[in-house]
Amino acid sequence: MDPLARLTVLGSLNMDISVTVPALPAPGATVLGGAAEFTPGGKGANQAVAAARLAAAAGICVRMVGCVGDDDFGRALRANLKNEGIDERAVRTVPGAPTGIAMITVDQAGENIITVAPGANREVSEQDIANAADPGGGVPGVLVISAEIPLPAIVRALDGAHGAAGAGGGTAPRVLTVVNLAPAPPRADAAGILRRRPDWLVVNEPEAAAILGAPVGGLAAAARASAGLVAAGARNAVVTAGAAGAAYHGADNSESSPRTVRAFAIQARDTVGAGDTFVGALAVALAGGVPPAEAVTAAAAAAAAAATRPGAQAGMPRPADVAAATGHAWPLATTH
């Protein structure tokens, strides 16, 4: 892919409010934690930051499309994107709508519970979708779509990226699509998305289970689920399995056997943002022309590196961080 190609993320922008606790609370319980931290987040913005940190050295431009409120949180989120080198001009400020927030509780082992109030993320418009599907300058691009925006917007974005023929499986899409269905929509809505044949679908075990209607636990089950998601319509599917690794099934597989990537041996400190790092890293690797199986391995290494570092966006790695944490060299060469 041309080194000036755009990688666009269409998705959510939230202000994260995080509290660390000794143990995650049971239903009805109250726990005392540390001081609340306010940090930029939202799955879309997280994926854009992860992509930007890994794409910059390879000369791939990352831009963000989404909505924030006309408030201090919204202004802070836009400023943060700009500081990360992300093109934020297509982030729209919605008068009268609050910026999305996410309330995150993290325990001592790095596990977390997240509650999201979407706010302005619900206001993604037809013009926002058109901006996302257009890579600019006639250069093919990669479009990452996260599911913290309305489901109709995801469907329209896929249709716009692939064109009418691409949505029906006829011609190849002009824009490569990477869809992260987190949180997973109801099965009927997920089926509608898969019928649009996204080029890549990325989900974790619970999300795969929700889409397929069957339990998914462990790497072997994740591999079967990835094959099931391809059978349901995705051109390529990845099911991440936490500390076990990830499974991939898609067009470059020999025969019909899914591939698995064992997890990298790390000491996890904070898993918040690791999944978003996986998605952003996968998109960058694909944008750089890395073969699919190698791209999935690189994404797993980036996610593992993120889990060794505190914070969501703050912990997202650059190429040197990936190599230092996992021993796996980032596959894209620098442009200088």
Tell me the DSSP string of 127-193: HHHHHHH--STT--EEEEEESSS-HHHHHHHHHHHHHHHHHTTSSPPSEEEEEE-SSPPPHHHHHHH
For residue 155, count other CB atoms closer than 10 A to its CB: 18
Q: Which of 134, 199, 270, 276 is catalytic?
A: 276
Counting other chains too, the contacts that 292-295 makes at CB distance below 8 Å and 24 or more residues apart are 292/236, 292/248, 292/250, 292/251, 292/252, 293/248, 293/252, 293/259, 294/331, 295/331
The arithmetic mean of pLDDT across residues 9-16, rounded, is: 96
Sign, Cα dihedral of 227, 231, 236, 237: negative
C-alpha pair distances (Å), 118 with each of 37, 212, 289, 291, 311: 19, 26, 34, 35, 20
The arithmetic mean of pLDDT across residues 57-77, rounded, is: 95
The model's confidence at residue 5, banded by pLDDT at 50, 70 and 90, is: low
Predicted pLDDT of residue 172: 45
SS3 content of the chain, % helix, strand, coil (to 5): 40, 25, 40
Tens digits of residue pLDDT in 182-229 = 999 999 999 999 999 999 999 999 999 999 999 999 999 999 999 999
The model's confidence at residue 276, banded by pLDDT at 50, 70 and 90, is: very high
Give the SS3 label for residue 217.
coil
pTM (2 d.p.)? 0.90
The arithmetic mean of pLDDT across residues 26-43, rounded, is: 94
Predicted pLDDT of residue 335: 54
Q: Please report, rounded to a whole number, the percentage of residues in the chain having pLDDT higher than 90.
A: 77
Whether the pLDDT of residue 6 is over 70: the answer is yes
Residue 252 near residue 293 (C-beta atoms within 8 A): yes
Q: Please report, rounded to a whole number, the percentage of residues in the chain having pLDDT higher than 70.
A: 91
Question: Is 276 assigned a catalytic role?
Answer: yes
Half-sphere exposure of 314 (CA within 13 A, CB side): 12
Query: Which tops the pLDDT comparison, 296 or 335?
Result: 296
User: Both tokens of residue 177?
Assistant: 């699509």
Predicted pLDDT of residue 164: 39
Residue 241 phi/psi, 5-degree rounding, is -125, 40
The arithmetic mean of pLDDT across residues 174-184, rounded, is: 93
Tens digits of residue pLDDT in 70-116 = 999 999 999 999 999 999 999 999 999 999 998 989 898 878 888 88
Predicted pLDDT of residue 257: 75
Q: Under CATH, to which class is 47-72+124-326 assigned?
A: alpha beta
Predicted pLDDT of residue 144: 98
The model's confidence at residue 169, banded by pLDDT at 50, 70 and 90, is: very low
Tens digits of residue pLDDT in 117-150 = 999 999 999 999 998 987 665 556 899 999 999 9
